[in-house]
Chain A
């Protein structure tokens, strides 16, 4: 086996996997804290990439500033989606909420096609074409940035959930919403913060991955699919699970595509879900209800 190719495929897989982790973390937070399966999560990823593009081209801002603005704007849109759809429906049946999120996904994707046009776009970044040679591995600066920024974002999210006052409120709500409300926690505010955080993370991943591929209004489908595979594998509601499952999926896809067959790459994710669900029906890192 050629070691250079092997190392390169591992590096490719880790970068792709880290992008999956970032997408899945938002998805798993919303489920873990609010028990909402949000099919529109991929659309917030798409909006993140598009807003980065438009802020960069229309206002001439540099890539990093555009990505930061995009994350904030999409976090705001997430709050609006919560206020308009998810909060009013919180006492309804889970299926009603699930179907509403599906409706929201279609609305944003089709609205995006009308608003942004069907032509693919490219998010300009100064790091996109700069190649870094790390030993025998070749990566662009952008791909290193995807990995590094995701690590920083995940550490920040971890610290926020673990130590901040709002993080503690989120965890309490995740464990028992009624109990949390009885102790005086403002559940409405927890909803708002969770959506802002989740959608902001989705937008951040869109902004980071944007310059490595072309963007078009239906890229959200891809993102939410990968997100769900990771979340189911890692265990619904588990942030640690999403981290390991995302990296695992990225690396296995890369090695499977590299050494078995590329046509097989798509199937690998689904095969992994089946295997994990048979072995541990609640996911790799699932223990009990709550945010982990």
Chain B
């Protein structure tokens, strides 16, 4: 057996060693800032989820390569699948908060998911909603909630001017997805375009699970409108609609909804998107130099072309990293982080972001057009 003296000596030696080992360990590796990325990783919106995740991961890699946030803490992204459905979004947010104890949340790629999820995260955790456009996401102004994308009202105010002044159709018909956003789009544009003298000839709502659109497009073609406006969120449905518009023999103008133009959509749509306009906060040509490190990282890591959705993923990570730094380094100091984000401009890949008191970002929106299968910004 060990004698008392030996035990005491051993205890003293341990007491000396442990704090030293503890300090060096902490200095070498601080715990990461853990961010949940909740998005549609499967189902019809899976591609959008993949783009958002890629953008976020590329930005996390850029930030981590520069030493991380708050003096050396790395960003760790945890991925959750919301399947594009509000129920799964809610359960993913609960799992992230209660089971995995994450520091912050990125989510809300679709409005329907954002609207349900925000009630679960309300006043509990800093949450950044990404591409959802429904105004109600930030209307109530929860204290820890932020949204990056412009609301459909902000988008339509900008884009309707371009439609009235530049595209100038005499009449228009709408092909919108049958959800909160698609219906809101119809209301907004009907009001705004009628205001500048464009006749609205009719509309069709398609379902989020539809794969063939010939029935709806046959009806729209028979209205003989000068232009068809397509409000489609997901890439696979959008590409099928643009192709089928041409295949039905429609020869008028086609207008793509704001915020939903991406390189994959252009690739899949063949020639049917040539000369088609859209509006987007993201343009690669003439972009700010701040975009470059992320673009390089993205191109190095992924085969997809950089897109608006990927840039939103990057912007979300950047916003959270900026907030943690500005609030003194604690990712759980939610009041401080929220105050910091609302009180100053946040430098991001798409330029400076300013958040309103309700957490709504204002981003610059650009008119874009597909020319020779490239999305280019149109400047006056």
Contacts and interface: CB of A to CB of B under 8 A. Distances in A.
Contacts of B210: 265
A270 interface: no
A121 to B, nearest CB: 8
Given A2-B222, A222-B211, A214 B46 contact: no
Interface string A113-149: 1000111111000001101010000101000000000
A118 B246 contact: no
B206 A131 contact: no
A262 interface: yes
Interface stretch (A5-13, A60-68, A168-176): A5-13
B41 A118 contact: yes
A12 to B, nearest CB: 4
Interface string A1-37: 0101100110011001000000000000000000000
B121 interface: no
B29 interface: no
Interface string B209-248: 1111011101100100000000000011101100110111
Interface string A205-227: 00000001110111100100000
A12 B42 contact: no
Interface residues of A, number: 37
Nearest to A218: B43
Given A218-B43, A218-B44, A263-B205, A16 B212 contact: yes
A57 B41 CA distance: 25
Contacts of B41: 118
A257 interface: yes
A253 interface: yes
Q: Interface centre among A120, A131, A265, by most B CB within 10 Å?
A: A120
Given A117-B50, A138-B249, 14 more contacts: A9-B218, A16-B214, A118-B49, A119-B304, A120-B236, A133-B249, A213-B236, A214-B235, A214-B240, A216-B47, A258-B218, A258-B219, A262-B205, A262-B216
Q: Interface centre among A2, A218, A258, by most B CB within 10 Å?
A: A258
Contacts of B236: 120, 213-214, 216
B178 interface: yes
A119 B47 contact: yes
Contacts of B270: 122, 129
B101 interface: no
Contact of A213 (B47, B207, B212, B304): B212
A122 B222 CA distance: 27
19 contacts: A5-B219, A118-B47, A119-B50, A120-B236, A122-B239, A129-B246, A214-B239, A216-B46, A216-B236, A218-B42, A218-B43, A218-B46, A254-B214, A262-B178, A262-B216, A265-B210, A265-B215, A266-B207, A266-B209
B248 A138 contact: yes
Nearest to A223: B211
Contacts of B218: 5, 8-9, 12, 258
Contacts of A263: 178, 205, 207
Nearest to A120: B236
B24 to A, nearest CB: 41
A216 B240 CA distance: 12
B246 A120 contact: no
B47 A131 contact: no
A96 to B, nearest CB: 27
Nearest to A211: B243
Contacts of A128: 243, 247
Given A9-B215, A262-B205, A262-B207, A118 B42 contact: yes
Contacts of A265: 207, 210, 215
Contact of B268 (A2, A214, A219): A214
Nearest to B271: A129
A113 B46 contact: yes
